[in-house]
Amino acid sequence: MDTIRILFQVDSEGVNALLNIAICDDMAVLREILDAVINEYAAKNNMLCSIKQFESGEALVEEYKRCGGGFH
């Protein structure tokens, strides 16, 4: 498995910001594996993240548009 590097921002008080992560893959099993790996990494590193899975690029773009140009 490739190494996953996660970059995150720290707010002005030094508290971890919430990471909004989109996983896009047509294979559900791969999305689930990546979701689990990210959640495990985040837990071990005291990071907060919100993960959304998409089965296609089209679904990801539709959600992006629906949220007004961002993910929440």
**DSSP one-letter string for 5-57:** -----B-TTSPBPPEEEEEE-S-HHHHHHHHHHHHHHHHHTT--EEEEEESSH
Domain count, the chain: 1
In a domain, 7, yes or no: no
Residue 57 sits in which domain range?
A: 19-66
Q: What are the tokens at 21?
A: 């992560």
Q: Is residue 13 part of a domain?
A: no
Measured distance between the N- and C-terminal CA atoms of the chain, rounded to whole angstroms: 29
Whether residue 6 lies inside any domain: the answer is no
Can you give the pLDDT at residue 2? 42
Whether 31 is in a domain gets the answer: yes
**Confidence (pLDDT) at 11:** 55
pLDDT value for 12: 53
Residue 41 lies in a domain: yes
Give pLDDT, residue 4: 46
Q: Is residue 14 part of a domain?
A: no
Span 40-72, pLDDT tens digits = 988 888 888 889 999 998 998 898 888 877 665
**Is residue 71 included in any domain, yes or no?**
no
| pLDDT score for 31 | 93
- pTM, full prediction: 0.71
Q: Work out the number of other CB atoms within 10 angstroms of the CB of residue 22.
A: 14
3 occurs within a structural domain = no
